Structure 1
Amino acid sequence: MTTEDTRTYDVIVIGAGPVGENVADRTAAAGLSTVIVESELVGGECSYWACEPSKALLRPALLRADALRVPGIDPAVGNPLDVDAVLAHRDRMSAGWQDDDQVAWVASAGIDLLRGHGRLAGEREVSVRTPDGDTVRLRARHAVAVCTGSRAALPPLPGIAELRPWTSREATSARKPPGRLAVVGAGVVGVEMATAWQALGSRVVLLAPGEGLLPRMEPFAGELVTERLGEAGADVRFGVSVVAAERVPDGAARLTLSDGTGVVADEVLFATGRAPRTEDLGLDALGLVPGEWLATDDSLTVTGVPGEWLYAVGDVNRRALFTHQGKYQARIAGSVIAARARGERPDPGRWTPYSSTADTEAVPGVVFTDPEIATVGLTTAEAERTGRDVEVVDYELGRLAGAVQYRPDYRGRARVLIDRDRQVVVGATFAGPGVAELLYSATVAITGEVPVERLWHAVPAFPTISEVWLRLLETRRDS
């Protein structure tokens, strides 16, 4: 027998991933009664099937790659990784796919948790179907925040259901390395998972539809990753797509490629993009299209819905598909919701806590491959496409004393883009071991619009890789 009850809160948050948790934390801290609705694990995709487990798989591989090149270290570091130990570490970082700690945090923050599938049922209303089959009607006095994130998008390939392919979820939670792994896709998920499973003993074939890996980044980034994957034993093929796929009687997957060749693998990972988790969210009740991304203004308020009560935060709005950007948006959305609840009209100005501007100006991202790739702001191609007049300044990182201390055979490159009119950095890309730690300084330079002449007075410590900032300035001066 099912039952139905109605509960009223100031704020309803649909989705208890890092984004939803941060929205709820901000609104609860502002004194607004808040409930989170979650149909899976509290902590979301990042905690269990993305950021945390993927980096746990990658870290041993990257550390070994660095150690192999440092004089004086036992050559035994080149032996195969202890697969069981790596997977056990992955399991710990994913909390064994148990959300007890996250649930405890929600309670400690004064936030209510309702498990079940939430759907928008009208203005400021959410209907939740609980695991027991009951229905709970939630009403919000002030706001509903949709923080349902995104899911892996599979291509419309004949036979794909019977193929039983991996998505990012299976790739980060697999219990053992497949003997043969085919990776379809040249983006971040594809190259990271190819790196991880190749290091764990799989024979990896990486199928890229275009001419290079990481096509949205500077070409040299993809070239360096391609080089290292090849050295590690991966088979990287360009300009090919899968046109047919099937599981053969022995359980293997057989792929037919666009160039007429084929690949046989034990598992196939499709890393071919993301789609919003809005297909069963009740968007039609508000005149929106189920399965579509939710467009917002800079306050994260959904456009096309009157009343300033519906918010879309994180991946679901497609502004910038990174966990850290979603959490940034969550802080802004929480501030906006709290201000409006107080009867205020939050200032949407550029430098206020009520405007999500970093989604377009300075989005940082790291690809945890060998070598690491760190990017923020514009690429050269984006600058050309948008008509920005920029100076392009490059420097080979292997010329730095700090880089050679890191690895004697260090290979890498740095590039910054400088706006000719404003004389500020508008983009930066670093490719090389350990470059992720350069990213925040670049993000600050871009976000803060630091004049290039001022950067001469930001003195990097010697010998560190951060000295590249000085070398880039010198290269520009001498060109």
Structure 2
Amino acid sequence: MNEAPRAYDVVVVGAGPVGENVADRAHAAGLSTVIVERELLGGECSFWACEPSKALLRPVMARADARRVPGMSRAAQAPLDLDAVFAHRDRMAGHWKDDDQVTWLDSVGVDLVRGHARLTGPRRVAVHTPDRRTVLLTARHAVVVCTGTGTALPDIPGIDTVRPWTNREATGADLVPGRLAVVGGGVVGVELATAWQALGAHVTLLVRGEGLLRTMEPFAGELVAAELREAGVDIRTGVEVTSVERPDGTAGHVRITLADGAELAADEILFATGRAPRTADLGLETVGLTPGTWLTVDDTYQVTDVPGGWLYAVGDVNRRALMTHQGKYQARIAGAIIGARAAGEALDVSDWGAHTGTADHLAVPQVVFTTPEVASVGLTTHEARRTGRRVEVVDYDLSLLAGAQQYAAGYRGRARMLIDTDRRTVAGVTFAGPGVAELLQSATIAVSGEVPLDRLWHAVPAFPTISEVWLRLLETYRDEGGRPL
């Protein structure tokens, strides 16, 4: 049964953190707004990724730190209380109910339609609801696609029969597999390998490339690999899975065959081999786009291949930066842009202007919640060289800091700062070591604020904290090059 079409200023498809922020900002700009969601409000991050995975990792990281603190190491040898860990995970995931998000949505005045949304032409969306109705929505100003991504499973024989884990199964499981094979050495792979090894699984990490965290500075992946190996993870690099099967067709025992003919067995296999856009059944063909593809946008988040300026793509689906916080940043800007355009106002699209996503290109922050933590923002050395940016690399051993020695005995870590030699500003920073995640916002401010080194010299770090690394990096830059500061 179809209802009469409903007209809104803005239709948002996808109610994860990105869609929620777009809807909030559009409504705050005075635009009538509706949001469509086929699963749970809060999306992947709240229920199957960021929140539950960090809930699993927090006790792991806390115990790893405690083991290095004099006077606590014996107490930290006790196994984790699995029931308590899983209960905390369940609380952080809201027990997979979205009542709080629904209440919040009501409080900001945004309408909700539950169901599967498909474009049916310019500015038109049909929502197929769980009770078999079709709700027709039209947008006066904008349709915003915020459908995010899902796990990109490789095309290998047997994968459709072994019921592999993705991030969803790995963050929601209540039982620890005896043997877990993790395929992929990126952020999801190393974080979940860290978690499940500490929870009691024997983890084998299968990596196609020659190292972990390949998009970051090499030392970051090397430090994480060393800690994983010390914890008992079997890391195999330069390998490729060519087939998988469950010989008895039941839970347990997965047979994994590698390209060199080697075989190994696991009770579960987790694929963390990248992400794919959730656009396969979105009706893209009705507006001239190819289903299942990433949506290319300009710096105001309008989809470039659709005329008329009404279709926007925000968050993971535009492939700019597949992180929740960056998607929310884009959402805040996109909501302001839609509001300004609806009001006929001029946009500020200058670098770091109110209506352009400059940080997508120059200051994307990221934390990897492993032992040790990795935190980065801005350019890496490889990216600077690839793009022709003139930078000087400044490294520092974090273990030399009094704050690091206070943090843990035998502290291992490293910091790297890239100096833009033409502008004398910070172009990128990477930290790897226990407790470095909390250094990241200061680094992000330095990069996005384009703080001159002469001014940064006067930002005095407290002693004894790990943040003293800022002073040590600047001193190293000064002393190695004989530069005044």
Per the normalisation by structure 2, the TM-score is 0.97
Give secondary structure in 2 for the equivalent of 1:356.
coil
Give secondary structure in 1 for the equivalent of 2:157.
coil
**Which residue of the partner structure matches residue 350 of structure 2?**
349
Q: Deviation of residue 343 (structure 1)?
A: 1.6
RMSD between aligned residues: 0.9
**Which residue of the partner structure matches residue 76 of structure 2?**
77
Q: How does 1:35-50 map to 2 (within 5 A)?
A: 35-50=34-49
* Counterpart Cα distance in 1 of 2:383 and 2:240: 25
Q: Deviation of residue 74 (structure 1)?
A: 6.1
* Counterpart Cα distance in 2 of 1:442 and 1:367: 15
Q: How does 1:464-479 map to 2 (within 5 A)?
A: 464-479=465-480
**Which segments of 5 or more consecutive residues in structure 1 lack a partner in the other structure?**
none
**Which residue of the partner structure matches residue 219 of structure 1?**
218
**Which residue of the partner structure matches residue 306 of structure 2?**
305
Deviations 1:129-179 (A, max 9, x none): 011111111011111110000111000111100111111111111121111
Deviations 1:190-240 (A, max 9, x none): 000000000000000001111111011111101111111111111111110
Letter in 1 for 2:198: A
Deviations 1:76-103 (A, max 9, x none): 2211101111011000000000011111
**Which residue of the partner structure matches residue 442 of structure 1?**
443
Is contact 1:332–1:356 with CA below 8 Å preserved after alignment? yes
Is contact 1:184–1:208 with CA below 8 Å preserved after alignment? yes
* Counterpart Cα distance in 2 of 1:77 and 1:379: 35
| Segment drifting more, 271-280 vs 245-254 | 245-254
1:121 paired with 2:120, answer yes
* Counterpart Cα distance in 2 of 1:367 and 1:303: 32
Deviations 1:365-400 (A, max 9, x none): 000000000011111111121122211000000000
Letter in 2 for 1:311: Y
Is contact 1:393–1:417 with CA below 8 Å preserved after alignment? yes
**Which residue of the partner structure matches residue 431 of structure 1?**
432
Letter in 2 for 1:19: V
- Provide the identity percentage: 69
**Which residue of the partner structure matches residue 317 of structure 1?**
318
Per the normalisation by structure 1, the TM-score is 0.98
Give secondary structure in 2 for the equivalent of 1:145.
strand
Q: How does 1:152-301 map to 2 (within 5 A)?
A: 152-249=151-248, 251-301=252-302
Letter in 1 for 2:348: D
**Which residue of the partner structure matches residue 483 of structure 2?**
none
* Counterpart Cα distance in 2 of 1:218 and 1:258: 28
Give secondary structure in 2 for the equivalent of 1:438.
helix
Letter in 1 for 2:34: V
Give secondary structure in 2 for the equivalent of 1:13.
strand
Deviations 1:20-78 (A, max 9, x none): 00000011112211100000001100000000000000000000000111112261221
Is contact 2:36–2:114 with CA below 8 Å preserved after alignment? yes
* Counterpart Cα distance in 2 of 1:4 and 1:111: 20
Is contact 2:2–2:136 with CA below 8 Å preserved after alignment? no
Q: Runs of 4+ in structure 1 displaced over 6 angstroms?
A: none
* Counterpart Cα distance in 2 of 1:299 and 1:120: 21
**Which residue of the partner structure matches residue 111 of structure 2?**
112
* Counterpart Cα distance in 1 of 2:140 and 2:182: 47
| Segment drifting more, 247-256 vs 13-22 | 247-256
Q: Deviation of residue 258 (structure 1)?
A: 1.9
Is contact 1:5–1:135 with CA below 8 Å preserved after alignment? no
Deviations 1:421-446 (A, max 9, x none): 11111011000000001111111111
Q: Deviation of residue 3 (structure 1)?
A: 3.2
* Counterpart Cα distance in 1 of 2:457 and 2:98: 48
Q: Deviation of residue 345 (structure 1)?
A: 2.8
Is contact 1:373–1:436 with CA below 8 Å preserved after alignment? yes
* Counterpart Cα distance in 2 of 1:187 and 1:225: 11
**Which residue of the partner structure matches residue 392 of structure 1?**
393
* Counterpart Cα distance in 2 of 1:386 and 1:28: 39
**Which segments of 5 or more consecutive residues in structure 2 lack a partner in the other structure?**
481-485
* Counterpart Cα distance in 2 of 1:33 and 1:280: 26
**Which residue of the partner structure matches residue 22 of structure 1?**
21
Letter in 2 for 1:281: L
